[in-house]
Structure 1
Amino acid sequence: MITPTRLVFLDRDTLADSVALKPLPFAHQLQVYDRTRPEQVSERIAAADIVISNKVALRREHLQQAPNLKLIALAATGSDNVDLTAAREYGVTVSNIRNYAINSVPEHVFALIFALRRNITAYRQSVQQGRWQQADQFCYFDYPIRDLAGSTLGLIGSGSLGQAVARLGRALGMKVIFAQRRGQSGTNDDPDRLPFEQVLEQADVLSLHCPLTPDTQNLLGLEQFQRMAARRPLLINTARGGLIDNQALEQALRKGWLGGAGIDVCTPEPPPADHILMRLLDLPNYILTPHIAWASEQAMQTLADQLIDNIVAFQGGSPRNVL
């Protein structure tokens, strides 16, 4: 008799109800939890062969108590919620999702850029407050509106998402430049890849598309924002909250070193009501969205399909997207 593979999905609520999971073509038992609190992790994965997690943290102490665990199938690209070192020590394969939001994230990036560059939010709020009637003419010019064509788009991160954002920028007539790793010296053959500091100084819009690592923690702080002050760029972050020193971001916005900021990620998520990123919501040139750049209906279904494909490939002896 074939023993069914035991799977546990720890946080199904991180995908919309409209997203369907393809059936698994092997004998299995699937336990689905909408959400899992940290203190529930060990018990829920104790007997599992495969664990599916989007954002639930899986640390060494959890893996120690899951002797049957063979695969952690991440329902996301980022893996900072998994102790990869411990997983390797315990012989647990970790797979992730790749290139699923290749349209969703870049489109959200430009939604934020357009809204900020044309002051859409500020104008909408002023219309709600009766300013149009006070103007006593067909329009008014309380907030600056600037075209994107001819401006410079600086990108930190040149993976699939960074490249997709670059393509949209070029289609809009923007000059695109990529940043080298911070601290990297020397020249390269790509004229569009410049030293990190030069990109900060030359960009009219700066968009982040790099992973959060010890090297990129607080990548943008007070010193970096001061470098940007002369050009007053827009800052867009759809990557990870820890890339930005939020205290420095507040100072940069309130002092006018930035022309505006569109933020889709923070630490922790959700932020408490008194979080600094929540306190900035009084500013007309600041937009905070709840980590939904990735979450178009098409992207979520692509993610779910790839998640099942990763599990099936592992079961078939050919694991894919292994970290």
Structure 2
Amino acid sequence: MSVRIVQLESEGLVADVRRPAFAHEWVEYGKTLPGQVVERLAGATVALINKVQIDAAILDRLPELKMIAVAATGTNCVDLAACKARGIVVSNIRGYAVHTVPEHVMALLLALSRNLVAWRETLQAGGWQKSGQWCFFDHPIRDLHGVTLGLIGSGTLGNGVARLAEAFGMRVLRAERKGAATLRPGHVAFDEVLAQADAISLHCPLTDETRGLIGEAELRAMKPSVLLINTARGGIVDEAALVRALKEGWIAGAGFDVLTAEPPSDDHPMVDAGLLALPNFLLTPHVAWSSRPAMQTLADQLIDNVEAFAAGTPQNRVA
């Protein structure tokens, strides 16, 4: 069988992507716009993607496509039901970000808890230089030790955050699914976690059930002193409600690495200059996953998935 492999988003990965160890044709594009997907995947057997959307209408125009290898853990960009109906294998990446994402979460928590942005701004304005003393206390600092951290989503990444948090002396609560009638061992009711946590970190996938999971009601149910961290997916949080929560003081701060639209438009509310100027809001451009070791692990596993498919033993299947 002639195998044509098309990589649609090579610029989204900084790593040595080895070529599969079987006869194939390799075609690579740095980035791909929505209107280019069908044209570029014409005749492809395997598509390597990251964030481009592939729905049923696109699949109908790609009769030769047999596999979609997603270079990420999240697969909300692919219509999995449509793939299953057409016999198209979809594989994702697992476990590659077990260190880098948890470390990013802790970096955001530390920066917000210790008010690092505000202190930097004070020094840039000459505050220390003009203070006349060796130390001053314009911005409060909180320790992580003794703080209660609520985890919403407790897979590999959530568990990685839990290990680091416990090393800092934090108390970790794992939230049960919202509205669940029973509690799994080691889990706490969703509403209780919102009420008790001093910090909350999101680690669930974006699905129909989790879209808008954190909205105005949930934000108002949190402590006014809470810090909200999202390194999962932007759509899990109602962004308009979050903007209000930060500007009106419903919560103490937030650290986000993801948005509903990536890259955001200039008028996206989460990149508003006024919001980004707040010392209690940190936004990074979806880079929590992207340490160099993590990206290389991802690239190696991506090709492992393709080789397993070609050998007739698909791995990491989600469809």
Q: For the superposition of Structure 1 and Structure 2, which TM-score range results when normalised by the shorter chain? A: over 0.9
Moved more, 91-100 or 274-283: 274-283
**CA offsets 1:78-118 (integer angstroms, 9 cap, x no match):** 11111111111211100000010000000000000000000
**Residue 131 (1) aligns with residue 124 (2):** no
C-alpha distance in 2 between matches for 1:14 and 1:162:
24
Percent sequence identity over matched residues? 51
Aligned partner of residue 77 in structure 1, secondary structure: coil
Segments of 5+ residues of structure 2 without an aligned counterpart are none
| TM-score (norm: length of structure 1) | 0.96
Q: 1:200 to 1:86 in 2, by over 3 A?
A: same
C-alpha distance in 1 between matches for 2:317 and 2:123:
51
Runs of 4+ in 1 over 3 A off after TM superposition: 186-189
Q: 1:228 to 1:50 in 2, by over 3 A?
A: same
Aligned partner of residue 315 in structure 2, secondary structure: coil
Which residue does 2:9 correspond to in 1? Answer: 11
Q: Please tell me whether the aligned partners of residues 229 and 256 of structure 1 are also in contact (alpha carbons under 8 angstroms).
A: no
Shift of 1:185: 2.4
Moved more, 201-210 or 180-189: 180-189
**CA offsets 1:232-285 (integer angstroms, 9 cap, x no match):** 210000000001111111121122221110000001001112211112102111
Which residue does 1:264 correspond to in 2? Answer: 257
| TM-score (norm: length of structure 2) | 0.97
Which residue does 2:45 correspond to in 1? Answer: 49
Which residue does 1:311 correspond to in 2? Answer: 306
Shift of 1:22: 1.6
**Residue 194 (1) aligns with residue 180 (2):** no
Q: Please tell me whether the aligned partners of residues 185 and 195 of structure 1 are also in contact (alpha carbons under 8 angstroms).
A: no
Selected match of 2:73 from 71, 77, 84: 77
C-alpha distance in 2 between matches for 1:107 and 1:206:
15
**Residue 166 (1) aligns with residue 162 (2):** yes
Q: Please tell me whether the aligned partners of residues 239 and 265 of structure 1 are also in contact (alpha carbons under 8 angstroms).
A: yes
Alignment of 1:103-118 (within 5 A): 103-118=99-114
Shift of 1:186: 3.2
> Aligned-residue CA RMSD in angstroms?
1.1
**CA offsets 1:202-231 (integer angstroms, 9 cap, x no match):** 11110000011111111111111111134x
C-alpha distance in 2 between matches for 1:268 and 1:37:
14
Q: Please tell me whether the aligned partners of residues 258 and 286 of structure 2 are also in contact (alpha carbons under 8 angstroms).
A: yes
* Count of aligned positions: 316
Selected match of 1:27 from 9, 23, 27: 23
**Residue 301 (1) aligns with residue 296 (2):** yes
Selected match of 1:290 from 285, 298, 301: 285
Which residue does 1:234 correspond to in 2? Answer: 227
Q: Please tell me whether the aligned partners of residues 196 and 223 of structure 2 are also in contact (alpha carbons under 8 angstroms).
A: no
